[in-house]
Structure 1
Amino acid sequence: MRAMAYESYGGSDVLKEMRLPLPKVAPGEVLVKVECAGVNPVDWKIMAGGLDALMDVVHPVVPGWDVAGTVVRLGIDVPEFAEGDEVMAYARKDYVHGGTFAEYVSVPVRALARKPASLGWEQAAGLPLAGLTAYQLLTRLDTGPTDTVLVHGAAGGVGSLGVQIARSLGARVIGTASPHNHERLRGMGCEPVEYGDGLTERVRALAPDGVSVVADFVGGVLDVTLAVLRDGGRHASIADHSVLGSGGQWMWVRPSAADLTELARLADTGALTVPVLRTFPLHELPEAFELSRSGGAAGKIVVRP
């Protein structure tokens, strides 16, 4: 099969198009023909060696953890799916090797959900990692209808899904973003505020009694979080482990078929949309990584083999 892969750590220049064997399909896995694969910052951070202390790596590495595609082969003991099923997954495994920027990828059933009918392939490929990150953080904080939520980084790939998910849970949402993203956030039911100097005062103007939940998707904002969080409030971050010292939670997204199925349900009810910024062909994965690395992308970046 065709795949983009690398044999040593580095920048986008280490990515090469290779011909690799079809992945083996272990018990409890399926083989998915990749229709689209979503790009996430973690993909190029791993390629640069950023998770070397945490995860074993087997070269050559096909990067990528987000996928939407069609089941073409079943492993042993997979009664949940059939060949031809349209699926999506946050296909992270226990080590780094066979990812989603390829024509085929094997996926554990524990990570696999059916693709929502309301989403195209590009949108479905952009949902799993970012959507699960936002959903798991907000639900772990017991977000509900009585909450006012502050979302740091509300216009980003994770943040924009977090805004929509928090709204679906019934919460009021205030979100930090650049002014050019404010109108888009208002369309999601968010009350946008500009980040930077004076952010604490701007949030306090909207929520004089403070907010009850803070979802930090950017890092470096703990001082603002603590300044606007009311007594008894809850907060968590995906980017700043120092929150642990102030009663917050530091989170890393987990593959979950059940959680991803709930996100699919939200998409099919119209409560969740996935904006796609740009789609690249497989051989232009280095360009897709560079666009992701540039930051500020208002939508998901997707690769179509």
Structure 2
Amino acid sequence: MKALVATEYQALDRLALADRPMPSAGPGELVLKVEAAALNPLDLALVTGAARELYPVRHPLVVGMDVAGTVEEVGAGVVGYAPGDPVLAFVGQAGAVAEYTVAAPGPRLAPRPPGLDAVRAAALPESGMTAVCLLRAVGLRAGESVLVVGATGGIGLYAVQLAHSLGARVIATATAQDAAYVRELGAADTVDYRERDVVQETLTLVPAGVDVVVDLVNRGDGLAESARAARPGGRLVSPLYGPPDLGREVSPVYIGSFTSEPGDLESLARRAADGTLRVEIGARYPFAEAVTAVTDFATKHIRGKVVVTVP
């Protein structure tokens, strides 16, 4: 089979479509025929080695972790799935930008409901489940206010919608051209991070400070700066690591990787299928242009998810 492969830690433009052995389903595994695969920032860091200390890679690496397709083969001991079933999954370093991949039953694999096409389904697993995990970890509640920094990225677009659905007042960072769209997703207010100081604008909107800051962009001392938008005793949550003390009794919650719970992915898929959760596809590439998809994802401002379709 063909797959997008990194043979070592390397520059993104040195990736190539290459032959890899056809996977087989071991006990407790499924082989999936891939229809679409979505890219995430972690994919870039795995290729270049920027994340090697936290996530070491065994080469050759097949790029991508989010996939939608159909069950091709069912391994021993697997129940509830049969060949031909449409599914979506987070497959980790098994690799998603390929003609076939391997997945395991559990909370990171879900049936794909009618009405949810493969492209939108592939855009859900990592970003959607991370957004769920972040809001759950910080305990966001109805009536609270939340600033989402990085609201137009893959995770951010879901975080805005899920926070709004919980009954929170959402303030989201967005450029002028994206502001109307982010408001449609549920943001009550937007802050143009290119033109304004995000913290100062947020404190103008909520003088006492927001209850929660969800920062999907900054790391290290940058998170301490974002925390100034939180009220004393508020919370900050981030998938990137930062200082243990943010001052003013603002509690930091750092999530290095999402911890999915049973039903999370199924719920996201159902909501996407019935239209109550919008999935934004910022760019779509055919399998033959997978290397371009990766380099564009790394270098261009793309609202939403980048998806590679596989014939």
Give the TM-score of the pair, scaled to structure 2.
0.90
1:41-120 matched pairs, under 5 angstroms: 41-92=41-92, 96=93, 98-110=94-106, 111-120=108-117
Cα-to-partner distance string for 1:142-201 (whole Å, 9 max, x where unaligned) = 112121111001111211111011112221110012111101111112021122553222
Cα-to-partner distance string for 1:206-251 (whole Å, 9 max, x where unaligned) = 2123211111110154244322212332211113x11433330111
1:292-303 matched pairs, under 5 angstroms: 292-303=297-308
CA distance in 1, matches of 2:153, 2:2: 31
Contact 1:8 1:14 in 2 (8 A): no
* Higher mean C-alpha deviation, range 204-213 or range 255-264: 255-264
Please tell me the residue identity of whatever aligns with 1:299. G
SS in 2 for 1:185: helix
* Aligned residue pair count: 300
Partner of 1:238: 239
Of 101, 104, 125, which aligns to 1:128? 125
Unmatched segments (≥5 aa) in structure 1: none
* Higher mean C-alpha deviation, range 80-89 or range 260-269: 260-269
1:9-20 matched pairs, under 5 angstroms: 9-20=9-20
CA distance in 2, matches of 1:295, 1:63: 19
CA distance in 2, matches of 1:230, 1:66: 36
- Kindly state the Cα deviation for residue 73 of structure 1 after the two structures are TM-superposed: 1.0
Partner of 1:6: 6
Partner of 2:213: 214
Structure 1 residues 243 and 89: CA distance shift in structure 2, 3 A: farther
Structure 1 residues 274 and 290: CA distance shift in structure 2, 3 A: same
Partner of 2:270: 265
Contact 1:214 1:236 in 2 (8 A): yes
- Give yes or no for the alignment of 1:182 onto 2:189: no
Give the TM-score of the pair, scaled to structure 1.
0.92
Contact 2:137 2:253 in 1 (8 A): no
Please tell me the residue identity of whatever aligns with 1:205. T
CA distance in 2, matches of 1:180, 1:34: 34
- Kindly state the Cα deviation for residue 61 of structure 1 after the two structures are TM-superposed: 1.4
Unmatched segments (≥5 aa) in structure 2: none
Cα-to-partner distance string for 1:68-119 (whole Å, 9 max, x where unaligned) = 0101111121112222211111111xxx4x3011110001112201224333
Root-mean-square deviation over aligned CA pairs? 1.8
CA distance in 1, matches of 2:282, 2:198: 28
